[in-house]
């Protein structure tokens, strides 16, 4: 069922367009403004003084804190009013002062956030960003347009990613890191510009990676960063790991797929 603007969970001072589709269980705080093309799923809570506009779809059981701007038009001079979208999945926490823009016609037209993400204060997602599941973005993480972030990524506070950068699963950045190149899966990076420091071994242990899989990740790190190999030589070395570490086959495939998609112009964090 869709809640009416006068539903019990919607504060009397909130301005909810009659055409907006909010599940009857959604709560909306004081002075929040919700536009006509917004859809919000069951159990989601929206704090005070938020603006949710554009063609924005928000899933179930999200916690959206006060002072957020979701679904505004992209900060792209080429944008000419096309009906692009922002799509947010389920069970995300979105803290204060975040800005998530809709997509642009120059890409898929959709800015997308998956499920179970923890997005802290002042996070910015520019147009056409794609964020996977189970990520953590610390305060002031800033993503330029078209950035793709895979599952289980942790970005330290004030991390900045250049447009079109790809960030691989299980990777990690330290505070104030600047990403001008793609960050491969599992890699821990730090610096301005960011450089690879190690692999995210502690994160992998917490997520239940077996010793055999972690050994394979260590071997990937050695091939990419310690043995003075070209990227093509490193890829060939990594492809051989499944023979010695059978459990690691999905991890090896993920790394090889990521490296194959990296453009020579952008390269990877080294």
For residues 8 and 27, the answer to whether their CB atoms sit within 8 Å is no
User: Is 127 tagged catalytic?
Assistant: yes
> What does 145-165 look like in DSSP terms, one character per residue?
TT-EE-TT-EE-TT-EE-TT-
User: What does the alpha-carbon distance between residue 241 and residue 117 come to, in Å, rounded to a whole number?
Assistant: 31
Q: Which two tokens stand for residue 8?
A: 């019990």
User: What does the alpha-carbon distance between residue 124 and residue 156 come to, in Å, rounded to a whole number?
Assistant: 14
Q: State the first-to-last Cα distance of the chain, in angstroms, to the nearest integer.
A: 51
Q: Of these residues, 76, 90, 107, 128, which one is catalytic? A: 128
Q: Of these residues, 124, 127, 221, 245, which one is catalytic? A: 127
Q: Which two tokens stand for residue 148?
A: 């793709």
User: Is 228 tagged catalytic?
Assistant: no
How many CA atoms does the CB half-sphere of 237 hold within 13 Å?
A: 19
Q: Of these residues, 29, 89, 132, 145, which one is catalytic? A: 145
Task: Pick the closest to residue 86 from 18, 37, 123 (CA basis).
Answer: 37
User: What does the alpha-carbon distance between residue 242 and residue 133 come to, in Å, rounded to a whole number?
Assistant: 26
User: What does the alpha-carbon distance between residue 132 and residue 118 come to, in Å, rounded to a whole number?
Assistant: 11
> Residue with structure tokens 């960063």?
225
User: Is 145 tagged catalytic?
Assistant: yes
Residues catalogued as catalytic: 127-128, 145
């Amino acid at each position: 069922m869709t809640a009416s603007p006068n539903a019990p969970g919607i504060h009397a001072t909130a301005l909810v367009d009659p055409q907006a589709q909010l599940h009857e269980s959604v709560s909306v705080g004081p002075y929040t403004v919700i536009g006509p093309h917004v859809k919000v799923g069951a159990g989601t809570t929206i704090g005070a003084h938020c603006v949710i506009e554009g063609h924005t779809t928000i899933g179930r059981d999200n916690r959206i804190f006060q002072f957020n701007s979701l679904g505004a038009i992209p900060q792209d001079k080429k944008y000419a009013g096309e009906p692009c979208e922002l799509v947010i999945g389920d069970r995300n926490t979105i803290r204060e002062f975040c800005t998530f823009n809709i997509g642009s016609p120059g890409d898929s037209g959709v800015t997308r956030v998956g499920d179970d993400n923890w997005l802290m204060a002042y996070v910015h997602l520019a147009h056409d960003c794609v964020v996977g599941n189970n990520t953590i973005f610390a305060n002031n993480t800033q993503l330029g347009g078209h950035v793709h972030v895979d599952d289980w990524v942790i970005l330290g506070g004030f991390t900045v990613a250049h447009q079109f950068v790809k960030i691989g699963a299980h990777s990690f950045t330290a505070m104030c890191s600047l990403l001008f190149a793609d960050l491969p899966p599992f890699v821990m990076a730090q610096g301005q510009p960011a450089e690879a420091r190690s692999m995210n071994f502690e994160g992998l242990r917490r997520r239940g990676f077996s010793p055999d899989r972690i050994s394979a990740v260590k071997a990937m790190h050695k091939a990419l960063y310690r043995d003075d190999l070209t990227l093509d030589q490193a890829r060939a070395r990594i492809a051989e790991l499944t023979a010695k570490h059978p459990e690691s086959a999905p991890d090896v495939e993920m790394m090889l797929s990521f490296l194959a998609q990296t453009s020579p112009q952008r390269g990877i964090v080294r």
